[in-house]
Structure 1
Amino acid sequence: MATATKDDAEIKRLEETLRGELIQPDDPEFDDARAIYNAMIDKHPRLITRCANVADVLAAVKFGRQHDLDTAIRSGGHNGAGLGTVDDGLVIDLSNMTGIRVDPEAKTVLVEPGCTWGDVDHATHAFGLATVSGVVSTTGVGGLTLGGGHGYLSRKYGLAIDNLLSADVVLADGRLVHASEDEHPDLFWALRGGGGNFGVVTSFEFQLHPVETVVAGPTFWPIEELENTMRWYREWLPDAPEDVYAVYLTAEVPGDPFPEEIHGEKVCGLVWCYLGPEDQAEDVIQPARDIAEPLFEHVEKMPYPALQSMFDDLLPPGDQWYWKGDFMHELTDDVIAEHRRFAEVPTPQSGTHLYPIDEAVHHIDGNETAWAHRDVTWSMVIFGVDPDPDKSDLITEWTRDYWEAVHPHSAGASYVNFMMEEGSDRIRATYGDNYERLEEIKARYDPENFFHVNQNIEPAT
């Protein structure tokens, strides 16, 4: 395949089969089509099938298998490790499959895999409903969900996978199956956190919840207040009601929309999402003001989609990205000291987030889904970001050094969506006691490991 041209008979037959596009290196749109969110990853696929429907996915999977092509599956393209693309292989690009159907009576939504969470929020918000997603609206539904999915609604409504009701999946052998608690329940179990190891999901059905407006926005403190405020945060969060979600962060204040007088300031802070009665929001937020005087605050009532998209412009596609994560049980004084040591970020877009994953996430046992670590309190991510390729070494070294300082105090595992390509031991740790069951399910549904361009779980032998 590496020397095939567009006139090659078999490629021509594939092209004629597709309702979507077949894109090759000599096509003018190739560079745009191969680009992913993280510009640090620069790969050159042999073929890109931009699928229009399930039939296109079936044809692409069949072609990939027949020609023994390394095959990557791309939804939103946000994967930090760049596992939505591949050199010299096949990319099955789902980004044009963007159908959404809301059932307001049943409070469910059926979503095709090319949708972003912004697409879903737009469709469900019309009915005063939402489901659990992430914190950036341009993130793809497929990758975030299959990795578990945590975000602003997680303390009340769990992970994205806890709200997944069913999925349609194209398997490596070319079958299309429906996975749910009643049909292919073992596959459904594995999809909820097991990543793209088991097939191409062509539709997701989610439970929706009554979420229309929230009280939300950032509170920033000077970076010198990190140790004080993080100690308060570790004590406050476990007792906070489930209607409260607050991401702890370190950052450098960017330009617009923030006031000019704080541009470039190094800060720590919280991004709030409060789902409870509006007249009780001040009671929830005031303790944060009492612990240290904010440098800046903008917390107000807003539509939920406005919160979801609040930081989109600060994190555009095409930047250099390097990130590493860990689950944390607690924020000890030693951990807090390390956060303070690395808190002054190397570039304006770099930083750290601590995402709460307690309350509703803890209401499900660790063996009920592939996501194993239901007893941790935070999902930490450290991210180095900059548009300049010349700074890629700088942001990578800062991220690694920071992570290596904090990791010994962690739960020893990470959210799979916050991992680069970090090796099989790291993947095993992430799935913990569930790993052997995942290997067995992989052996049933993909015994030849066709779907291996991912955080790979090899089939049991």
Structure 2
Amino acid sequence: MNTITFNDNRTQVQVEGGTIISELVDAAYANNTQVVTANCNCVGVMGALLGGGYSRMMGERGFMVDNVLSLRVVLASGELVDVTPTSHPDLWWALRGAGANFGIVTSAVFRAFPTAPAQNGAWLGSLIFADDQLEDVVAAINNLTLTSKMAIFLYYATTGAPDYTPAIIVFPFYLGNNTAEARQAFAPVLDIGPESDGTTFTPYNEVNEGSDSFCVAGNRKVSYGAAEDQLDPATWRAIWNEYTSFVDRYGGEAVGNSTVLMEAYSLGTAEQLGDSSSAYAWRSTNRFNTVAIAWYADQGLDAPANAWAGQIREHWRSTSGLQTNATYINFAFGDETLEDIYGGNVGRLQQLKGVYDPDNHFGQFFPLDG
């Protein structure tokens, strides 16, 4: 169930339901093309798609849900249907943002973007900043205008074994092969003066490798996410202090893989399509997505791990600049309200749930059965 088939001119690709991101990226690169995917190689293509599908290249092309052309779906009735904007308009809308509630996607057809080999990649890499630069870094990211080729990430992570030293890492992304243009675009961050600069042009099939640490199997990974319209430097200082204290208290070997992450993307293309274009509710409001991941092996750390990550989420929510709480479903913990996940679309989604899955066969995560 992981066959990938491009059409003759490489502008469309059919992807089977068991395909993971790395398989699709490798196939696209081998065909001198690009496909809008999520950023983590080990994630299933359909899982990322059905929740919305943020992508590093979404500034140019929109969410994953904006780049799918058709979906083959097994419904709760057992019927196999091909869903398109014209064949099943309500179901098409619902699947793209709340899809896990409505069926099993066995394959999908996506847009593909033929790309010359010399341009098939991006300028990216890690910038390491000192503790006393943190407020300047957060303010610069908050004030940065992301043009269509840009995305930026902020991590709190450790250096790993043996020292597990906490680090402040910024990871800029600029689509295509133009280092001078990329460095100019990110000048407000670069001008702060990172302690190290690992940015370089990277081929498209290697672009996601920076996220491979998240794909390591095993252990316990407790994740609490939130969305924001603004980044508050004082909040991020408090979170940094709590992150370093968490690592110090329980030790690097026990919790040193824990991470705090912020993602920011250019939203212009996604916003142009309009909030009503899919069931993903937050395309015009959430500038930043954040998640705190407590990563550990000892079950005895469940309580402090949840308390730590949950408290970080509360910091974000309290200074988000949003009118209500909001969370990208693929960053959610599970205790959020339906409105946190689906926004103002809950009522329409529940009505459609009653049509397509009245017995709630597909209700594993944030079920809409009412």
TM-score of the pair, normalised by structure 2: 0.89
Look up the match of 1:229: 137
In the TM superposition, 1:133-282 aligns within 5 A as 133-210=37-114, 212-236=120-144, 239-255=145-161, 264-278=164-178, 279-282=180-183
Residues 1:210 and 1:389: Cα distance change in structure 2 (over 3 Å): farther
2-structure distance, mates of 1:214, 1:285: 14
- Which residue does 2:250 correspond to in 1? none
Equivalent position of 2:185 in the other structure: 284
Match of 1:118 in 2: 22
Alpha-carbon distance in 2 for matches of 1:165, 1:135: 20
SS at match of 1:172: coil
Displacement of 1:331 after TM fit? 1.6
CA deviations on 1:347-392 (whole Å, 9 max, x unpaired) are 3221222111423232221121001112221111111112444433
Change in Cα spacing, 1:302 to 1:277, as seen in structure 2 (3 Å) is: closer
Query: Which amino acid is 2:313 matched to?
Result: W
Residue 349 (str. 1) matches residue 249 (str. 2): no
| Counterpart residue type for residue 63 of structure 2 | L
Who is 2:317 aligned against? 407
Amino acid aligned to 1:392 = D
> Could you tell me whether the CA contact under 8 Å between 1:352 and 1:383 is conserved in 2?
yes
1:210 and 1:391 map into 2 onto residues whose CA distance is 48
TM-aligned CA distance change 1:119 to 1:276, over 3 Å: closer
Matched with 1:392 is: 302
Q: What is the DSSP-based 3-state SS (H/G/I as helix, E as strand, rest coil) of the residue aligned with 1:205?
A: strand
Shift of 1:159: 1.1
Look up the match of 1:28.
none
> Secondary structure of 2:368's match?
coil
1:379 aligns with 2:283: no
Q: Quick one: distance in 1 between partners of 2:281 and 2:99? A: 13
What is the CA–CA distance in structure 2 between the aligned matches of 1:338 and 1:401, rounded to whole Å?
Answer: 11
Deviations 1:197-253, CA, capped at 9 Å, x for gaps: 0011100111122452211111111233221210111011xx232111111221112
Q: In 2, distance between residues paired with 1:209 and 1:129?
A: 5
Match of 1:328 in 2: 228
Q: Which residue of 1 aligns with 2:276?
A: 367
Question: How far apart are 1:405 and its partner, in Å?
Answer: 2.4
Partner of 2:204: 304
Picking from 337, 345, 358, the partner of 1:434 is 345
Secondary structure (helix, strand or coil) at the match of 1:281 reads helix
Deviations 1:74-125 (A, max 9, x none): xxxxxxxxxxxxxxxxxxxxxxx11111125151111111111001001111
Distance 2:327 2:184 in 1: 33
Q: What is the identity percentage for the equivalent residue pairs of Structure 1 and Structure 2?
A: 25
Cα-Cα RMSD:
2.0
Q: Distance in 2 between matches of 1:145 and 1:314?
A: 19
- Match for residue 362 of structure 2? 451
Bigger RCO of structures 1 and 2 (CA < 8 A, at least 6 apart): 2
Q: In the comparison of the two structures, how many residue pairs are matched?
A: 352
For residue 434 of structure 1, report the CA deviation from its aligned partner.
Answer: 1.1
Helix, strand or coil for the counterpart of 2:97?
A: coil
Tell me the TM-score normalised to structure 1 length: 0.72
The 3 A distance-change label for structure 1 pair 399 and 151 is same
In 1, Cα distance between the equivalents of 2:199 and 2:233? 29
Cα distance in 2 for residues equivalent to 1:310 and 1:393: 30
The separation in 2 between residues aligned to 1:224 and 1:334, in whole angstroms, is 13
CA displacement at 1:145 relative to structure 2: 0.8
Structure 1 residue 287: Cα displacement? 3.4
SS of the residue aligned with 1:342?
helix
Matched, 1:422 2:330: no
Q: Name the counterpart of 1:15.
A: none
The letter for the 1-side match of 2:195 is L
Secondary structure of the residue aligned to 1:430 is helix
C-alpha separation between the residues in 2 aligned to 1:127 and 1:106? 7
Which structure: greater helix fraction?
A: 2
The CA distance in 2 between the partners of 1:348 and 1:295, in whole Å, is: 21
Higher CA-based Rg? 1
Q: State how 1:73-112 maps to structure 2 within 5 Å.
A: 97-103=1-7, 105-112=9-16
Deviations 1:168-204 (A, max 9, x none): 0001111001111111111111010103100111001
Counterpart code for 1:301: F
In structure 1, runs of 5+ residues without a counterpart are: 1-96
Q: Distance in 1 between matches of 2:291 and 2:139?
A: 18
**C-alpha contact 2:138 2:233 (8 A) present in aligned 1:** no
Deviates more, 1:391-400 or 1:436-445: 391-400
Unaligned runs of 5+ in 2: 248-254
Give 3-state SS (helix, strand or coil) of 1:310's partner: helix
